[in-house]
Every structure is written in structure tokens, then in C-alpha cells.
Structure 1
Amino acid sequence: MKEYFDRLFLEDHVRLNHFRNHFELTRKNLMVKNLKRLKRQLEREQNKLDAQKCDFYPSTYELPSEYHIFVEEFRRSPGTVWIMKPVAKSQGKGIFLFRKLKDITDWKKGQYNPQIDPNKEGPETYVVQRYIERPYLIGGRKFDIRVYVLVQSYSPLKAWLYRSGFARFSNTRFSLNSIDDTYIHLTNVAVQKTAPDYDPEKGCKWSAQQLRQYLRAKHGLEAVKNCFRLMDEIFIMSLQSVQRVMINDKHCFELYGYDILLDEDLKPWLIEINSSPSLTASSKDDYDLKFGLLNDVLNVLDLDNRLTGREKRVGGFDLLWDEGPVFVDEEESDGLSVRSSDTNSFLGSYNNRKASLEHVFRMAQFKKC
């Protein structure tokens, strides 16, 4: 019976985002347009160095509407691999890689032009991105990182970063010799679990904690801190880019699933953002992560008014931005080696969420007395 209610809890709370903003952050075309606008704004109001901070996503175009602009870019870089993604699908459906324009001839022939036949339904909208051809590999395999960000408010912007996440690995060693092999290039679990040699016992996931420990052992503390700091910039700048177009309401919130890819230089790239990230569990560890995640969303929202509203950590969530960067309190750093100038970001760090909740509720009750 407990397992039934646990499963029911997960399924029901997937619908927590019913307080939906009218503009979806995850429409890939809208996100890219807003990021480009933010970059132009930074160039005008500040300087090109600040604008370069927006260079965390691959060259991206919406097809068919930006087909001709894409063709100009395509011809400037012959031989480059591109990846096509349908806007309205998930779990790797409809994604393919290509090197030649003839692979997308429907748009080239002008079949997307409504003037030809206004009653004919146009082709599905796709996003085309320059493929990251030098991904960071572990064991010869490509991976991306799923990170959870909770936006409690857009005006003012208040965002929380979840400590736990996971890396999703491909089942086959990376190579550009075969761009048609989805088991090499797509890390979606829905794709990888159909591979002939997929082992459900081992799966294709690492926790964010495992990944951070691996990177730290191989590249050192400072290189990894810089890599994760750049991820924080991705989270904040992507949210800032849509801040003005989001309808804000004090009763609204959003839980986003960010997909981040590292290249050989440990530079993080934003691949996409999901406004309804999958909460289906593929293993016991995955279930525990997502069950705790949903519990902590409710804890941050504090519907029972148990908190003071000044907390920097609630369960597995750390307050990353509150009208500005949030800095760590050394006495609340769980014994980690931090400085007061460090931002309050602990992705991939130890996540004793139950102990955190006990502490934060006890302190909140004490301060309210």
C-alpha cells in the first residue's frame, strides 16, 4: 500500500506546474531569441566582454522560419555536423544529425511557404543546432547533465538550485564516423534502454555527486569549481533573458530541467530547458532523487507557512539568486571548504536533505518564537 501511495504521489505532483505561465521558457526557439536579445542588450549597455557570457549555447535556428539565415551559416562552415530537434516532442523522438542540406530538402524546396497552399498544414517546427563535435567523454562515452532549477518568482527573480542531478550516458562509444547511430549521439534514457546490449542493472546514469567527484579527481578543485560556476551563469542568464516576457504571479512557480553538455575544455553548453521534466524513475536511486525533489519543491513553497522566508537552504535546494547573487554562509556550509565570497551553489555536493529540513524547520520555529 505504501508503494502505491508513493507512486501516486509522484504521478500527482508531476502536475504541480498547473500554475502555468503563459509564455513557456522551454520553447527552444523563444529561449534562443531571448538569449540573443539579452546579448545585444549587454553589448549596448555594458561591453562585449559581458556579452560573451551569453556564449553558452550552440548556434541555433528555428526551421522553417529561419531556414535562409541557417543556410548562410551552414555554407560558412562546410562539413560541420548539425542536429535537428522537433520543438513539440521529447525523449529523443524525431532527432537526427546531418552534414548535408539535402537531408532537409522539404524546407529547401519551399514546402513551408503558406502562399503555395494556405490550406495545407505546414511542416513540423524544428530547432537546428550546431552539434558539439568535441564533447567531454568518460570511458569513451558521451553524456549530458540534468540539473533542476526551481523558480519561485520572476519579479523579483528568485531561483533555487537542487544539489542532486544526474549524468546520462550513451550506451556506445563516441564517434563522428556514424552520425546516424542514435545510441552514440543521444543520451536520452528512452533511447538508450532500447540498445541491444543495454544492461538495466547498470543503467546509463551517474549521480551529480559521482560526476563531480570524478571531475575533481581528474582535473583538480579549481577547474571543477570554475566549470560549475559557469553552469550557474547559464541558469541565471537564461532566466534573466525571459524575465520580462514571463507573466509573473505570486501563486506561480516553475520547476525546470536543464540539460547541460560539457566539451573537452570543461566548458558547459546549454542544450535545452524542459518546463515539464520527466519524473519517471528508471531505478531505485532515481526514484529516491525525484521523490525527494518533489517533496522539497513543496518545502520551498512553504504552503503551511512554517519558514521565515530568509532561508538559503531548504532540503536539497540552495537559494542561488534572490534579486541578485546569494552568497554562502560559512557556518551553514555542511563543513565544505567555502569562502564568504562564494555563491550559494552546491550542485553535486553532499545532499543530506532530511537533516537540512530538520535544521531549517527547527531554526524557523525558534526565530518565530
Structure 2
Amino acid sequence: MASAFESFKVVHQYQLSSIPEELWQPLFMKLGEDYLDAGKGNVAEIHLGDPMKGYSLHVKADKSLKKHRQVQLLVSERSTRVDIFLIDHAWITSPENAKQELRLNVALMDRLENLMNIEQVDAPENSDDEEEDDDKPDAELIQLVASQANVSEKEAETALIAENNEVVNAIMRLTIDPEQQAETEKLDDLMMKQILASGKPQEKGDKEQQERIKRREQREKDWINERVDTIYNKMWSYIQTYTYSILQKDGQPTPQTAWYINDEVGSAICHSSDPNVICLPFIFSRGASGMIPYSVFFPIKDIAGGDIITCDLLPKNVERESDKLAYLLAFQDRVLLTGDTERKRNELIQAFKAEHERLKNQKCTLAETLSSEQVLEAFKKEAAEAKTKADSIIVWTDTTFVQQFLKLGNVKFTDDPAKADIIWSCHDFQKWDSLSPHQTVNQFPNEKCITFKHNMAELIRKTYGLPDWYMPTYNIMTQLSEVVGDYLNSEDSQETNLWILKPWNFARGLGLDITKNLSEIIRQHDNSVPKIAQRYLVSPCLYNGKKFDLRYIVLVRRTEPNLIAFVYNMFWTRLANKKYSLDSLDDYECQFTVMNYSKYEMTQLDYKSFIHSMEKQHAIKWDVVQKDINNAMKKVLAAAAFTSQPLGLAHTTPNKFDAFSVYGFDIMLTDDFKPVVIEANFSPDCTRACQYDPEFVNNIFSLVDGRFGTTEKGLDAFTAL
């Protein structure tokens, strides 16, 4: 039977490959005992402010650490010393759950604040102002005293404060004189009877108590949120990742990323480009007992007593020198300073400025596109030359709204794509070689050039430079130094430095984060879901104080030899639920508009009513705005149509099949009514469109194939781009 150590090696072989073999058995022994000896004061100690602002880990003055080649000798001599150490994980989380986890765990907040050297904000107490507010007389009492004493409300309030809100005493103070002395007792009895009969003292006391409780709860909530925000912003300098796989139902592994923060010892290990230890995660399997995540570190140099312990925090996949400079800015408090930090920072800014100037002056070299009038003329001519109306056109689709709403008289559905004249799939189509010349498919090869956000950004940048209808956008995986240079330049210019982080290929508002934290932007480089960083539109056009975006359905009938595209005249206005404010960046209902896939209620606006209200509120002509919107969408499509693959759609050899595509373009407007293209969505869900307009699908198919015999009717629903 294999020994426990041999089983340990088999189970953990991939992780052990990063650790010198002579350290495996000492590691196994420590894991079995959960022996976290590095933090027990045996070898290392934590310093504050030496040599950096935060915490750092040092070898104790009377100790030393030896490189692993010497450990083998020591072990063979039965020495008790082993220079490999376990580190516990203080917190395992995910960016999307981190804030909520913190709010629910005050002890964790206390620990992380200490670990990150965050000065804790004192818990709220009842302020003097609140006590004064609590003692302030009720408005009804002031009016009562003023009327009974025949004085102003100001005088009545002063008297009530002086008499500790005793109504009778306040009135006596204002009215007492020798002639009225005899009436005092009568007044006393009368007033107290009135007050008691009304029940006001108890009602007033209950109301004030509830208000005090609400104020106290709000202060505590604000206090917790302030602490949570501070920890969340700082955690990006400490959090680390490891990747593991989960088997799906089809047996395919899906990579997942776990985010963790090492304990106080591990978090005190600073970065150096010339490190003396290696620190890495190690997930220990205890069999039926489950998995326990640790980190381990071991020296790769001899380290003398008193010396600082450092590791390399730079991932191996960060290769460009400029990206290495940019990445380490996420760890500003944990980098062993070399004296040239400011120089490196300026390098990134100057590189950004030079590239920005080049892009700003870039000239578009695309071939000229047809005007909307020419597009319409060319399409009508093509339709007139098409075959006459067919008795039947066979359609295959896996899309529910097409199955439900396609009602043209000569349509016949099939379950076999090979027999179809038109194929409409809501999934990424790959079987291009299976298509026949008579078939038409609802996708273009490589249309991810615009439906993937990072690809669209690259296409626009290389085609147009920095157009005013698209926000500056960077692929964090390949343009880390560019986005950091932009951020730092804006910081120096005191611009609003707000960014939105988006996954390359998620839709429905998934995975979006708004941030002004440079470390958070940089650390998205370690996310298993690759993201872009895009400047946030901080001055959007508002509808009754709320953000909105516009969803347009665009049909691209062909891209060669000319771009032939149409936009559906009906569009959808998606409205935020709350009024827009930059003070509420964490409030989804304030910052975002896509509610139909979330837990929030969705506000929909009829497009005709929306246009009427916009023209009335802002004294604008919507036709002018719509023309600008159409022009921006057309520019995106033109860049794709006339740029060769893989950057665009154009290909060197003609397809043996016909193709068209339908995209969902999302548009926002600036506060001066200029369009900004947000994204183009692949195979948009048009169920709502069909509910608003039952002819929606019929109109699209009427333009796709002239043999339906309804081209003219279909054109009425579209505007040529």
C-alpha cells in the first residue's frame, strides 16, 4: 500500500512541480499538522514603516533563512530546521461578492483594516447636534404656546427651551404678572388636561424615538459602507488569485478563479524585482475532509538576520516592459522602492500622450460608403432583379421568436438545416463548409470583430483613431500600460477619472463595474474573465433626471461589394430606475439601464412618446439626432465591412453562400445630444420587439429574400444607413 506521502505526491503533483523536490516532505509534514510557523515569531517578524509606509516581513535579527539546496543537507542530518513555510488565507472571496461579505462580517473588517494598515473610522455616536435636535420643541407645542401666550413663535420656542419643553411653565414665563398669578393654577390644570386628552405626549415620544432609531441606523450603515469602500479599494493591492477547473455536464472543464488575501505574514511580503523568496498558493487535499487553501513560501537566496523578505508579484504573462511598470502600480504600498518610481510613472504618461496625439490626427483610409439614398436605390434594384415570388421558402431556426412570429405565407419550416433556404441560428455558427450556394445564413464569418467589445475597440481605433462617438477603450490584457498612462494623465489634469470595466463578451449588463481605483483596473488583468476598461460617460443626456440608452436593431444585408444596411425605425428606450448621480456609483438602478435581466423592475418608454418628450424638454429636432446616431452605427459597420479578417469582415475569396446579420446596437447620448456607441450585440433577443410590432420578423425576412414578395412592405419599417 502506498504511503501517505506517496499519495500526497500523486494528488498534488501539478502544484508540487513549482516547489523544489527536497521540500516536498517537509511541506507534507507541515500541512498535516497545519503548522503555520512563519507567523509564530520563530523566524520572521512584521515591521511597520520600515522601509515602507505599510507592513513588511523581516527575518528576525538572530535568525537566517537558507536557500533550499542547503535544506537537503540539514534534513539528512536530522535537523529540525526546514525553510519552507505555510501561510494561511485570511479571506477567500470574489470581486462581485466582496462588499456584501464585508458588510456582514465586522470581525473580518477589523482584521483586514489591521492587515492593510488602514486607520479605522470611529463608530458613530449621538452627536451634540442630534441631542440639540432632540431637545428642540415640537412645532405643535411652539404654536400652542405662542397662541396661548399671544407671542411670536420664536419667543415661544425660546421659552420652551428654557423650561425644558414644559408647556405650562413656558406660558407662565411669557405671561406671568401680579394680575395673572391667580389664574396660574387654572391654566396649569387646563393645559395638562388638553395635552393628556390629545395623547400627543406619547405619540410625540414614539415618533421621536423612531426617528432617532432611523438616524442611528443610517449613521451605522454609512459607517459600515465607508469602511467597506476603503477596504475594497485597498484590497486590490493585496488580493491574489489561483485558478481551478470545474467539470460541466458535458465533461468539459471550465476554469474558475478564486481571489484570496494572505494572512498578516503573507500580506507583509513585499514585491521586489530581485526577490529572495517564492510565494505561491497551494491547495491541500485532505481527501474526504475537503480542500484547504494555503500559500507557501521558501527562500531562493540566503537571507541574513534582519533582512526584508520579498517576492515577485509580477505575473509571468505580463511581458511588455511598459506593462510591467503599469502592473506594479497596483502594489504601490508593497513595492520595495528603488527611487525611480516617479520616472517610471512619467514614462507611462509620455507614452500615452504620444500615442494619443497620433490617434487624434489619424486619417481614415476606408473606401467611401454609399449614401443612404444610394443604399436604398441599390437594394431596390437588386430586389427587382431577384427571382419572382416563390411558392415556398424553407427556413430552419433554433430561435424562439422567429418560430413564433414568422408568418409570411410562403414560409415552410424544417428540422434539417441542410434542406433550408434560410438558416437563422441564435448560436455562434461554425459549419460554414456545410453551406450550399442557394443557402442564406444569418451570420457573417468573423462578426465577433464587432460583437466582442475588445475587438470593436481595436477596429475603431485602427480605422478612425479617436472618434467622438466612441469612448476611449482599452483591452486590459494587451493594453495595460496604455490604460494606466491614460489614467495617470487624467489624474494629473484633474479630470473626472471614472472607468467602467466590462467583460469582452458578456451581454445583458453582466460583469460590469464602475471604478476610479487604478489598482482595481490593473488587477482585472488577473481575472479569468478578460475585460476592457472604458472611460465612463460622466455627462450623459438625461430623461427626467435619469440615464437612458437606446437599443437599435440593425440589419446588414450584405458587406460586398458595398455595405447594404438598414436600421429598424422602431427603437427601445431603456431607462434607469433612479435619478443619475456620480455620488451613487454602487447603485445599479442609478447607473445602469438594463433591468429586464436583473432583479429590478424595468421602465420602458414608447419610442414615439420618447421623441416627443425629448423635443419638448430640450427644444431639439430628433431627426438631427437620429441622423447622427445612424451615421455613428454606419461607421462601425463600414470599418468592419471594408477591413480584412481577422480585424474586420472582409475576406480574400468570395463565400459560396449568402449571408446577412442582425445586430443590437446600444447607443447613449451626451448632454449635448451627440451619440456614443456603447456596443453591438450578437443575435439580440427580439422577443420584446415582436410584442411591440408583430410584423417585426416578417419585415426582416422580407428584406433578406425578395422571393417572399413583400420587399416594399418590409422597407417601410426600415431606414437605409
TM-score (norm 1): 0.68
- 2:543 is the alignment partner of 1:147: no
CA contact (8 A) 2:547 2:593 kept: yes
Contact 1:299 1:315 (8 Å CA) reproduced: no
Equivalent position of 2:486 in the other structure? 73
Partner of 2:251: none
Q: Which of 677, 683, 691 matches 1:276?
A: 683
Decide whether the 8 Å contact of 2:524 with 2:531 is kept in 1: no
Q: Distance in 2 between matches of 1:90 and 1:173?
A: 24
For residues 256-309 of structure 1, give each alpha carbon's deviation from its aligned partner in whole angstroms, at most 9, with x where no partner exists. 11100012111111111112112243xxxx54236432221111112525267x
Residue 211, structure 1, aligned to residue 610, structure 2: yes
**Alignment partner, residue 288 of structure 1:** 691
Cα 1:14–1:233 shift into 2, 3 Å: same
Query: 1:296–1:130: structure 2 CA closer, same or farther, 3 Å change rule?
Result: same
Inter-CA distance 135–256: structure 2 relative to 1 (3 Å threshold): same
Contact 2:401 2:686 (8 Å CA) reproduced: no
| SS of residue in 2 equivalent to 1:266 | coil
Partner of 1:9: 404
Correspondence list, 1:251-262, <5 A: 251-262=658-669
Shift in Å at residue 129 of structure 1?
A: 0.8
Whole-angstrom CA distance in 1 between matches of 2:709 and 2:713: 15
Q: How many Å separate the matches in 2 of 1:275 and 1:31?
A: 12
* Aligned position for 2:715: 314
Preserved contact between residue 480 and residue 522 of structure 2 (Cα < 8 Å):
no
Amino acid of the residue matched to residue 127 of structure 1? I
**2-structure distance, mates of 1:297, 1:288:** 15
| 3-state SS of 1:97 partner | strand
Cα shift at 1:106: 2.7
Q: For 1:43-192, what aligned pairs fall within 5 Å after superposition?
A: 54-78=467-491, 79-107=496-524, 111=526, 123-155=528-560, 156-190=562-596
**Is the 2:556–2:564 Cα contact (8 Å) retained in structure 1?**
yes
Counterpart contact for 1:14–1:279, Cα < 8 Å:
no
Q: Give the share of equivalent positions with the same residue, in percent.
A: 23
Letter paired with 1:69: E
1:176–1:152 CA distance, 2 compared to 1 (3 A) = same
* Contact 1:312-1:318 within 8 A present in 2 as well: no
Matched to 1:9, the amino acid is: Q
Distance of 1:105 and 1:93 partners within structure 2: 20
Paired with 1:277 and 1:290, the residues of 2 have a C-alpha distance of: 16
* TM-score, normalisation: structure 2: 0.36
Q: Distance in 2 between matches of 1:8 and 1:97?
A: 38
Confirm or deny that 1:226 pairs with 2:636. no
Is residue 235 of structure 1 aligned with residue 630 of structure 2?
Answer: no
Q: Are the aligned partners of 2:524 and 2:530 in contact in 1 as well (CA < 8 Å)?
A: no
Distance 2:669 2:591 in 1: 14
Amino acid across the alignment from 1:139: N
Task: Give the equivalent residue in structure 2 for 1:335.
Answer: none
CA contact (8 A) 1:167 1:211 kept: yes
Q: Using the alignment, how far apart are the partners of 1:251 and 1:175 within structure 2?
A: 48
Cα RMSD (Å): 2.7
Structure 1 CA distance for aligned equivalents of residues 585 and 633 of structure 2: 30
SS in 1 for 2:551: strand
Do the aligned partners of 2:702 and 2:708 also contact (CA within 8 Å) in 1? no
Distance 1:253 1:204, change over 3 A: same
The yes-or-no answer on 1:31 pairing with 2:428 is no
Computing the radius of gyration from Cα coordinates, the structure with the larger value is 2
1:8-62 deviations in whole A, cap 9, x for unaligned? 425999737853222122111111211122225xxxxxxxxxxx7x320101011
**Cα gap change, 1:148 to 1:129, in 2 (>3 Å):** same
Larger RCO: 1 or 2 (CA < 8 Å, sep 6+): 1
- Going from structure 1 to structure 2, the CA distance change for 1:312 and 1:65 (only over 3 Å counts) comes to farther
The one-letter code matched in structure 1 to 2:473 is T
Alignment check: 8 A CA contact 1:313 1:319 kept: no
CA distance in 2, matches of 1:319, 1:14: 22
- Where does the alignment leave 5 or more consecutive residues of structure 1 unmatched? 41-51, 112-121, 321-369
- The 5-angstrom pairing of residues 185-200 of structure 1 reads 185-190=591-596, 194-195=599-600, 198=601
Question: What SS does the aligned partner of 1:183 have?
Answer: helix
Residue deviations 1:167-216 (CA, integer Å, cap 9, x gap): 1011111111121111111111235x523xx3xxxx41112222211122
Q: Deviations over 1:197-246 (max 9, x none)?
A: x3xxxx41112222211122233454x33211110111111111111331
CA contact (8 A) 2:690 2:697 kept: no
Instruction: Render the CA deviation track for 1:306-332: whole Å, top value 9, x for unaligned.
Output: 267xx5962412223xxxxxxxxxxxx
Alpha-carbon distance in structure 1 between the residues aligned to 2:557 and 2:521? 40
* Per-residue deviation, 1:135: 1.1
Question: Which residues in structure 2 correspond to 1:292-303 (within 5 Å)?
Answer: 292-302=695-705
- Equivalent position SS for 1:304: helix
AA partner of residue 464 (structure 2): K
Equivalent residues of 1:35, 1:241 under 8 A apart: yes
Question: Retained in 1: the 8 A contact 2:569–2:717?
Answer: yes
Name the aligned partner's letter for residue 89 of structure 1: F
